[in-house]
Chain A
């Protein structure tokens, strides 16, 4: 993958409207128009991709849901009315009402719970991805750029962490904590999740450090940190962003899996995984208790995977 991204060396159009971290990485030379940079080209592609538009809309809704659940429901996800609502069936015509998706075994509104459950999933996915991207990129860049003994050491450490199965390793870390807040879950996932990005970043840096502009910067006496941050990082980051975007969906699934197993988040935390876990006892007579939060997890993962696919298609010229 990395060697396909050489075209970033050409003129950069710093004015391109790429949102988020990518915009900052390319503030360098501002030459008017001509050949578009990889980033503006990718953004140009993305806006026309229905897959991207659909996933972006979905993700926006989910993020708003995570930030302001009150906008979607006034019901309290923890309010349990066992007497009146024990396993009450969904009322499909009551769209956006408290009883839309029915009530769970404790008489709590499932609609309110899936809306409020978005926060933990989205928070875990975004923060873990941010953490693994920073850790992985730093490790990979240092290993790739300095080479030699440093590379051998860092690569072996990466191998070691990579060899430990992800879900199982996260379980081992998490069971050690009595109180498992969302931050503990985030740390456990980030602790084991950074290896893939480190490998990708290392490979990417290995090809880019041979480039003429890196040699030129060295010859001009640029400091190591300047070469790494201003010259190598912006040009090596594309494959990292692809992997990071794709992994977003995976972390949503991991959080749900761990919470489902009873070693991620736990009551009273509101989480889709916790709800699926408590719904499994009712699978035979009230499957909707399990199926509705499952659908929420799947839609969210789907949205992030589609985003990842779209970003990969836009950033990887080989696939065009």
Chain B
């Protein structure tokens, strides 16, 4: 087990370096100039721009810039914003907890509601309630999350007045409820469908018949035997979903005015603040990588036949 984790952690390194390099290249190698953007539409002395670039290390070749960035990152230095002079680490420290809270909320909602819905429908495949669930999930998948966000805002905030349309700076739990539901709705639909299919499939399995024949109580058959076996595809999906939720938060945070990383990254993109964008995307990549490692370790818990030497 320990060796497996160590090997997986080592394998993460090339993926981590590759992903940061990819984002770094997309940010810096493509056209668009943060120093030039600083001046807006005004004409600026090219010599002044060149001097500023030299100061910021933006005149170096790309590989050198990346090397500087990576060594800085290993020392915990995420770089500084060009326009405000604020360290990127500070911006992340302010914004990340808010997004983490939003993502966690959305994730918990997805997991609890999605799995319950899936079990509810999967226990009676092809029944009326199963068809209703399939229809509902189909609708949730079809409506893009930003549309869902606006609809939620329109009905719950403007028409019914149950919630505030915008989230305050503190981003309290109760304020994050609607954004989290909107953010998690797509995953909810997938989780419900995966659980439903998995449960319906496993209900016919031999071990289920054995468990029933042994005379085990129904609670135990379903709660232990069926659920544990049906959760593997769901857990796989949930593991890769955390990163997607964080990435998708850009849209939700924009609609509900949540000051999280998505909101920061959106602002930074418009001003070509490379360090901020690369820093935040890197962080999300790390979250994704760690989550997928945890999922692989969970497999062994769910299915004892899977062993990691």
- Do B243 and A172 have beta carbons less than 8 Å apart? no
Taking the complex as formed, is B73 at the interface, i.e. its CB lies under 8 A from any CB of chain A?
no
User: Which chain B positions have C-beta within 8 A of A159?
Assistant: 15, 18
- Inter-subunit contact B285/A176 (CB<8 Å): no
Chain B residues bordering chain A, tally (CB within 8 A): 47
Report the separation of the CA atoms of residues A260 and B146 in the bound assembly, to the nearest whole angstrom.
8
Residue of A with least CB distance to B269 = A175
User: Is the CB of B30 closer than 8 A to any CB of chain A?
Assistant: yes
Cβ-based interface call for B5 (8 A): no
Task: Tell me how far the C-beta of B179 lies from the nearest C-beta in chain A, rounded to whole angstroms.
Answer: 15
User: A165's contact among B141, B143, B197, B243, by CB below 8 Å, is which?
Assistant: B243
Q: Which of A39-47, A102-110, A282-290 contacts B (4 or more CB under 8 A)?
A: A282-290
Q: How far is the CA of A229 from the CA of B160 in the complex (A)?
A: 59
Establish whether residues B138 and A169, one from each chain, have CB atoms under 8 Å apart when the complex forms. no
Partner of A287, one of B26, B138, B154, B284: B154
- Contact indicator B138/A305 (Cβ below 8 Å): yes
Partner of A301, one of B141, B244, B254: B141
Query: B265 near A: Cβ within 8 Å?
Result: yes
Are A172 and B269 closer than 8 Å at their CB atoms?
A: yes
Residue contact B154 to A161, C-beta cutoff 8 Å: no
A256 to B150, CA, bound (A): 14
A159, A168, A249 — most chain B CB neighbours (10 Å): A168
In the complex, residue of chain B having the shortest beta-carbon distance to the beta carbon of A263: B269
Residue of B nearest to A172 (CB): B26
Query: Number of contacting residues on A, CB 8 A?
Result: 43
> 0/1 per residue, A169-185, Cβ < 8 Å to B?
10111011110000000
Interface flag for A163 (CB, 8 Å): yes
A164 near B285 (CB under 8 angstroms)? yes
- Chain B residues 228-284 with CB under 8 Å of chain A are 243-244, 246-248, 250-251, 254, 262, 265-266, 269-270, 272, 277, 281, 284
B-contact bits for A276-294, CB 8 A (1 contact / 0 none):
1000100110010011001
A161 (CB) vs chain B CBs: closest residue: B22
Chain A proximity mask over B58-88: 1 for CB below 8 Å, otherwise 0: 0000000000000000000000000000000
Q: Which residues in chain B, 15-45, are within 8 Å of chain A measured between CB atoms?
A: 15-16, 18-19, 22-23, 26-27, 30-32
Question: Using a CB-CB cutoff of 8 Å, which residues 246-286 of chain A contact chain B?
Answer: 249, 253, 256-257, 260-261, 263, 276, 280, 283-284
- Judge whether A298 and B143 touch: CB under 8 Å: yes
Chain B residues with Cβ below 8 Å from A298 are 139, 142-144, 147
B142-169 Cβ-contact flags toward A at 8 Å (1 or 0): 1111110011011000100000000000
Cβ contact within 8 Å between A176 and B281:
no
| CB–CB A306/B18 < 8 A | no
Q: Which residue of A lies closest to B142 (CB)?
A: A302
Residue contact A253 to B144, C-beta cutoff 8 Å: yes
Within A296-320, the residues touching B (CB, 8 Å) are 297-299, 301-302, 305-306, 309, 319
Question: Which A residues are CB-close (under 8 A) to B272?
Answer: 175
Would you call A157 and B142 a contact (CB within 8 A)? no
CA distance A301 to B262 in the complex (A): 25
* CB of A218 closer than 8 Å to a CB of B: no
How far in angstroms is the closest Cβ of chain A from B49?
Answer: 18
Residues of B76-105 whose CB lies within 8 A of A: none
Q: Are B247 and A257 in contact (CB under 8 A)?
A: no
A226 at the interface (CB under 8 A from B): no
Contacts A164-B22, A165-B248, A165-B281 supplied; 20 other A-B pairs, CB < 8 Å? A157-B18, A160-B22, A161-B22, A163-B289, A164-B19, A165-B246, A165-B247, A167-B247, A168-B262, A169-B247, A175-B270, A257-B144, A260-B251, A283-B158, A294-B147, A298-B142, A299-B142, A301-B141, A301-B142, A301-B143
Q: Which A residues fall within an 8 A CB radius of B?
A: 156-157, 159-161, 163-169, 171-173, 175-178, 249, 253, 256-257, 260-261, 263, 276, 280, 283-284, 287, 290-291, 294, 297-299, 301-302, 305-306, 309, 319
